[in-house]
Amino acid sequence: MGLLSGIEKDAVSELALRKAITVEPSSSVRQVVKQMREGGLGCAIVVADDGKPIGIFNEAMLRHLLIESPAALDGEIQSVMATPFPWVRATDTVETVLEAMETKNSRFVVVLDDDGKPCGLTGQKGLMEYIADYFPGEVMVQRVGTKPIPESREGA
Amino acid sequence: MTSQRDDEFQDPLEDYDPPKYKDPLEEALAEKSVTEIQASPHTVIPADMSVQDAMRKLAGQDIACVMVEEDGRLAGVFSDRDVLDRVALEFDSVKHQPISSVMTTEPVCVYETDSAAAALSVMAVTGYRHVPVVSLDENILGIISPQRLTKFLHKYAQA
């Protein structure tokens, strides 16, 4: 199966989903930022008592917050979260992730299970990893650092 | 007059079998260079700019990453992830420090002649979301963001 066919047919659940960070609406922004930092994830999902998502908070929103009103770090996350937010079902196709990222201009897409509860997070990273599997040669030769070409030959 | 040697010449590439692609998207990623992905506008700041001013740049231009230049060379990048990891909870204590103290050094970059798939693979392998594009003599040419790469994918997925 080619890349395009895969994107059109494979389910979102076949992407490498990240474990979502879920927080309560009354959590402080500072606490949420700590959780995002510890989890190494640029997005947190705000969920209601029934476990269903009501908003998201991401790095871009944090950047604006720090410049415009840094005191809001100690406020509740529900006062600064974004709603609506991009989401897909785990059973949707990978194509829907690409469309959600394109139309919503978002790097993160919340993945919901059949009950409408978040079961993971995907987006740019998940999509790139999925596509990179089709280009093993490029993946194998990835360089690290800003000096990809050695300035001198190795060895004698 | 044709010499014996010319008659015997065999093109070493005569049996070359060019790669076959299953769809336009695969072909575009493998055959198009990174320059086919939008890499500008881009913002470059000096390494001694303060953290606060750099963040104002990000917020004012509504971008997630700037490149940091020192001595005419790419010294690092400063992105939303650096804000999360090294600035957000320490903002008051670091806001007047130079950006070089909190930026990501040694960013993985691609050359202008690399394939689009190479830029995508950098994102997939390293986890960096922004990939600077440099010329063969290592001058900064631009930066590939997730949004720009997504537009490229979308364009060829619909071709």
pLDDT in tens, A69-105: 989 999 999 999 999 999 999 999 999 999 988 888 7
A37–B125 CB contact, under 8 Å: no
Q: Provide the CATH number for the domain around residue B97.
A: 3.10.580.10
The verdict on a CB contact (< 8 Å) between B81 and A125 is no
Task: Give the contacts of B28 (CB within 8 A, at least 6 positions apart).
Answer: B36, B116, B152, B156, B159
What pLDDT is attached to residue B145?
A: 93
Q: pLDDT (tens digit, 9 = 90+) per residue, B61-110?
A: 999 999 999 998 999 999 999 999 999 999 999 999 999 999 999 899 99
CB spacing of B81 vs A138 below 8 angstroms: no
B125 interface with A at CB cutoff 8 Å: yes
Report pLDDT for A80: 96
Does A142 contact B147 at a Cβ distance shorter than 8 Å?
no
B-chain CB neighbours of A123 within 8 Å are 146
Asked if residue B144 belongs to a domain, the reply is yes
Q: For all residues of chain A together, what is the average pLDDT?
A: 88
Residues of B in contact with A125 (CB under 8 A): 123-124, 127, 129
Question: How far is the C-alpha of B29 from the C-alpha of A4, rounded, in Å?
Answer: 12
Distance from C-alpha of A3 to C-alpha of B95, rounded to nearest angstrom: 45
- Give a yes or no: residue B19 inside a domain: no
Q: Closest partner residue to B85 among A1, A37, A105, by Cβ?
A: A37
Q: Do A129 and B117 touch (CB under 8 A)?
A: no
Determine the pLDDT at residue A137: 76
Give me the domain span that covers residue B123: 34-157
SS3 A121: strand
Task: Say what the pLDDT of residue B75 is.
Answer: 95
Is domain A3-134 in CATH 1.10.760.10, yes or no? no
Asked, as a colleague might, if the bond just before B41 is cis with ω within 30 of 0, I would say yes
Classify residue B26: in a domain, yes or no: no
Please report the pLDDT score of residue A55 as a whole number. Answer: 96
- B156 token code pair: 């060829």
Total count of domains within chain B: 1
Segments making up each domain of chain A, as ranges:
3-134
Residue-level pLDDT at A141: 63
Q: Show Cβ contacts of residue B82 under 8 Å, excluding neighbours closer than 6 positions.
A: B102, B103, B104
Q: Which residue(s) pair with A122 in the sheet?
A: A109
Question: What is this model's ipTM?
Answer: 0.84
Rounded to the nearest angstrom, the minimum Cα separation between A37 and chain B is 6
Residue B25 forms part of a structural domain? no
Q: How confident is the model at residue B2 (pLDDT cuts 50, 70, 90)?
A: low
pLDDT at A150 over 50: no
pLDDT in the model for residue A156: 45
Does a structural domain hold residue B129? yes
Question: pLDDT value at position A149?
Answer: 46
